[in-house]
A and B are shown apart, each in its own frame.
Chain A
Amino acid sequence: GNSVTQMEGPVTLSEEAFLTINCTYTATGYPSLFWYVQYPGEGLQLLLKATKADDKGSNKGFEATYRKETTSFHLEKGSVQVSDSAVYFCALIANDYKLSFGAGTTVTVRA
């Protein structure tokens, strides 16, 4: 079956630090990959996505590259802000409509 493994948190950073959240996956076929974010008190929001190998998704300064050879989709941001404090979920869809999620990584950015 499909599965997503992402680095466990919590992660605590200072403002302007570099953020990386590792994500690897197992899937049949050619999945589409996603990063969702949940800010405090809000719903899950799609942060970025990539639908084929070597695609790079980007949004709000975050980037992730679909690496088929390493089955990875690591999330990166060069300089985080306090407003980036949230829970980040890596997810995939493979051959159907069901999203398969990782366990989530809680990120706290301190001023």
Chain B
Amino acid sequence: EAGVTQFPSHSVIEKGQTVTLRCDPISGHDNLYWYRRVMGKEIKFLLHFVKESKQDESGMPNNRFLAERTGGTYSTLKVQPAELEDSGVYFCASSPVWEGEQYFGPGTRLTVT
């Protein structure tokens, strides 16, 4: 069974540009989560989807971040326009039920210069 995959693995963009990160969860997992680790600090929750619906987006830092999960399969996280403080590693995770173990992807390292 394929695990959670994320694309790209690394992205370098300039301040003011737009970047879209993609996450493909494990097939059949209705729950999808985004987390972020900034500057080697703790990993922080961004948002949670149940199928295509946003269940909780309390961790989204501001309105420059937009997450979607059309059709309840893969998810995208768009940052527009990117700022320097957005640099970090963005992790995606999925789980079959909301209180089940979360399976993580390898992360996307975003560098904003």
Chain A proximity mask over B71-113: 1 for CB below 8 Å, otherwise 0:
0000000000000000000010101001101101111000000
Work out how many contacts link A and B, with CB atoms closer than 8 A: 51
- The answer to whether the Cβ of B40 comes within 8 Å of any Cβ in the partner chain is yes
Which stretch from B11-19, B41-49, B62-70 is at the chain A interface? B41-49
Q: Which residues of B contact A (CB under 8 A)?
A: 3-4, 31, 33, 35, 37, 40-45, 48, 56, 59, 91, 93, 95, 98-99, 101-102, 104-107
Complex Cα–Cα for A100 and B35 (A)? 10
Given A97-B48, A98-B48, A104-B42 contact (CB < 8 Å): yes
What is the chain B residue whose CB lies nearest that of A93? B99
Q: Which residues of A contact B (CB under 8 A)?
A: 4, 36, 41-46, 89, 91, 93, 97-104
Please tell me which one of the listed residues B43, B59, B106 contacts residue A42 in the complex, with CB atoms under 8 A apart.
B106
22 CB-based A-B contacts, threshold 8 Å? A42-B106, A43-B104, A43-B105, A43-B106, A43-B107, A44-B93, A46-B101, A91-B43, A97-B31, A97-B48, A97-B95, A97-B98, A98-B45, A98-B48, A98-B56, A98-B59, A99-B45, A101-B35, A101-B43, A101-B44, A102-B42, A103-B41
Tell me which residues across on chain A come within 8 A of B104, comparing CB atoms. Answer: 36, 43-45
Complex Cα–Cα for A4 and B59 (A)? 17
Extra 16 A-B pairs, beta carbons < 8 Å, given A43-B3, A104-B42:
A43-B104, A43-B106, A44-B93, A44-B104, A44-B107, A45-B104, A46-B101, A91-B43, A97-B33, A97-B95, A98-B33, A99-B45, A101-B44, A102-B42, A104-B40, A104-B43
